[in-house]
Amino acid sequence: MLGCSSLRLSGPPQQCFSFSARFSFFSPSLLPLASFVVFGFFLFLFIYHFAFIPSFPLTLTLYLSSK
């Protein structure tokens, strides 16, 4: 917010808003949440890969053999 007042003196308020929004996005309080979301996404992809991808050819051959 300190950089916001100096930006407001030199530039339009939109520039100040984008700077404060960018600064709050990279705040340290959101860092554990972002890392948890990324870790959960990769864990979901890992489980999804090993749970469904090996059984996909098996289900495909079973489907084709039943026809």
- Helix count (H) and strand count (E) of the chain? 4, 0
Per the structure, how many domains does the chain have? 1
Cα 64 vs. chain centroid, distance in angstroms? 38
Q: Given a cut of 70, is residue 48 above it in pLDDT?
A: yes
Q: What is the pTM of this model?
A: 0.34
Cα 21 vs. chain centroid, distance in angstroms? 17
Inter-CA distances, 9 with 4, 6, 22, Å: 9, 5, 19
State the residue range of the domain holding 29. Answer: 2-66
DSSP conformational letter for 18: H
Q: Given a cut of 60, is residue 14 above it in pLDDT?
A: no
Q: What is the pLDDT of residue 30?
A: 72
Q: How confident is the model at residue 18 (pLDDT cuts 50, 70, 90)?
A: low
